[in-house]
Amino acid sequence: MTGQDLPLQNGTVPLVEKRGFGTLAVHAGSPHDPVTGAVIEPISLSTTFAQTSVGSPVGLYEYTRSSNPNRDNFEQAIAALEHAKYALAFSSGSATTAVVLQSLAAGSHVVSVSDVYGGTHRYFTKVAAAHGVHVTFSPCIELNVEELIRPNETKLVWIETPSNPTLGLVDISKIVGVAHRHGILVVVDNTFMSPYVQNPLDHGADIVVHSVTKYINGHSDVLMGVAAFNSDALKERLTFLQNAIGAVPSPFDCWLAHRGLKTLHLRAREATKNATAVAHTLEASEHVISVNYPGIDSHPQRAIAVKQHRDGMGGGMLSFRIKGGQEAAHLFCKYTKIFTLAESLGGVESLCEVPSSMTHAGIPKDQREAAGVFDDLVRMSCGVEDAEDLKADVLQALKLAVLPAVSNGTNGSA
């Protein structure tokens, strides 16, 4: 490691902030191996690290659950990209949510947006209560967060923006303004946008969390999560829980996710370009009722995207209502040839799914529809294939899916 490598790696915020996103993605947390000069870090699979005398480890490490070189490097890279002082990695996005909730004392209250990720909803409603933490959900948090706050009890406001699967946006700084007036922390799940498109801490949020499984790793081959923040007190509390609970990722997964992260800017730009092209194609189709995509002008909260997202980008996720009801939605996902019918998102390959029958099937129909998740809604994760191929795939699948469904008299577009 030479002196001139250090500015990107020593984690000091002023030096880090001078670099562009792509430079940081490639170099932050990526020291050359000081012994061999290897440009890519080795994977440290060792679970334990030698000590020369009791209490004097050879290097920085003692036992891998507490810390290891690959996790440290990944965390440093995420901290740089989310404009945070600290980042902590966990074994999944869900474990990250669990640890943040477990940091609250019994008797704490949380206010959350209603349409959070399904697993987050499950943890909030079925697990948090067991350790005395209660969550109130709001479908319009920008309007009523203040009245939902309970003096001395509410400790967190939880936001997910864009929401899943309808891509509704929340104005982060507006929520932060109210929460901070009451001394309450704001957490933003930034999984759908990735740190390239949106940096919630820049809008005043206190903690940003990710399912690394999605855009950050980006290759659909690692399950992992991460939280990033600036507070020293949070660093102490969450580091303690990371080690005490032990829901940590393996060194191999950290290494893979870090490799994926190095091309996040390239992937996020391509995915946005593709999603924008697909959204316009869908909007122009006679077989489509409506399109939800924050990157185009028809989105009702487009102004928030312009304010909150890099260059007003919409990201790679969109959803749309197809004419012909649930049957057409199912057929569409069956007939696409490039979009694979599967759950999850954020990988290099394009995916599609029907939320009401798959990711959101557990939510009662009336609640689902109140949130805009109709049986004819299709969710798409645009990958980094060629836009022309994705557009052609969507058009041929629409044609095959809608005509039989409509002629069967199952047009559920009402």
Ligand X SMILES: *Cc1c(COP(=O)(O)O)cnc(C)c1O
| Nearest residue to ligand X, by Cβ distance, number only | 93
Question: Which helix (H) or strand (E) is 209 found in, with range?
Answer: strand 207-211
Structure tokens at 39: 């440009």
- Least distance in Å: CB of 130 to ligand X? 19
Q: Which residues pair with 113 in a beta bridge?
A: 138
Using CB under 6 A as the binding rule, whether residue 225 contacts ligand X is answered as: yes
Stretch that binds ligand X, among 62-70, 86-94, 122-130, 333-341 (CB under 6 A): 86-94
> What is the contact mask toward ligand X in residues 47 to 66, using x (rule: CB under 6 A)?
--------------------
Q: Can you give the three-state secondary structure of the chain, one letter per residue?
A: CCHHHHHHHCCCHHHHHCCCHHHHHHHCCCCCCCCCCCCCCCCCCCCECCEEECCEECCCCCECCCCCHHHHHHHHHHHHHCCCCEEEEECCHHHHHHHHHHCCCCCCEEEEECCCCHHHHHHHHHCHHHHCCEEEEECCHHHHHHHHCCCCCEEEEEEECCCCCCCCCCCHHHHHHHHHHCCCEEEEECCCCHHHHCCHHHHCCCEEEEECCCCCCCCCCCCCEEEEECCHHHHHHHHHHHHHHCCCCCHHHHHHHHHHHCCHHHHHHHHHHHHHHHHHHHHCCCCEEEEECCCCCCCCCHHHHHHHCHHHCCCCEEEEEECCHHHHHHHHHHHCCCCEECCCCCCCCCEEECCCCCCCCCCCHHHHHHCCCCCCEEEEECCCCCHHHHHHHHHHHHHHHHHHHHHCCCCCCC
- Least distance in Å: CB of 242 to ligand X? 15
Q: Which of residues 20-49 bind ligand X (CB under 6 A)?
A: none
Nearest-CA neighbor of 65 among 96, 97, 91, 102? 91
Using CB under 6 A as the binding rule, whether residue 220 contacts ligand X is answered as: no
Identity of residue 157: V
Catalytic residues: 65, 117, 189, 214
Structure tokens at 263: 């091309």
If the CB atoms of residues 49 and 293 are measured against ligand X, the closer one turns out to be 293
If the CB atoms of residues 119 and 177 are measured against ligand X, the closer one turns out to be 119
If the CB atoms of residues 124 and 192 are measured against ligand X, the closer one turns out to be 192
Q: Site for ligand X (CB under 6 A): how many residues?
A: 16
If the CB atoms of residues 123 and 374 are measured against ligand X, the closer one turns out to be 123
Interface residue with ligand X among 9, 67, 76, 92 (CB under 6 A) is 92
Stretch that binds ligand X, among 55-63, 131-139, 210-218, 328-336 (CB under 6 A): 210-218
Interface residue with ligand X among 121, 214, 287, 299 (CB under 6 A) is 214
- Least distance in Å: CB of 351 to ligand X? 12
Using CB under 6 A as the binding rule, whether residue 119 contacts ligand X is answered as: yes
DSSP letter, residue 43:
P
- Least distance in Å: CB of 37 to ligand X? 34
Interface residue with ligand X among 84, 110, 156, 223 (CB under 6 A) is 223
- Least distance in Å: CB of 345 to ligand X? 6
Using CB under 6 A as the binding rule, whether residue 390 contacts ligand X is answered as: no
Q: Which of residues 297-356 bind ligand X (CB under 6 A)?
A: none
> What is the contact mask toward ligand X in residues 160 to 199, using x (rule: CB under 6 A)?
x---x------------------------x-xx-------
- Least distance in Å: CB of 360 to ligand X? 12
If the CB atoms of residues 158 and 255 are measured against ligand X, the closer one turns out to be 158
- Least distance in Å: CB of 111 to ligand X? 18
Using CB under 6 A as the binding rule, whether residue 114 contacts ligand X is answered as: no
3-state secondary structure at position 128: helix
Using CB under 6 A as the binding rule, whether residue 9 contacts ligand X is answered as: no
Provide the binding-site residues for ligand X, judged by CB under 6 A: 92-94, 117, 119-120, 160, 164, 189, 191-192, 211, 213-214, 223, 225
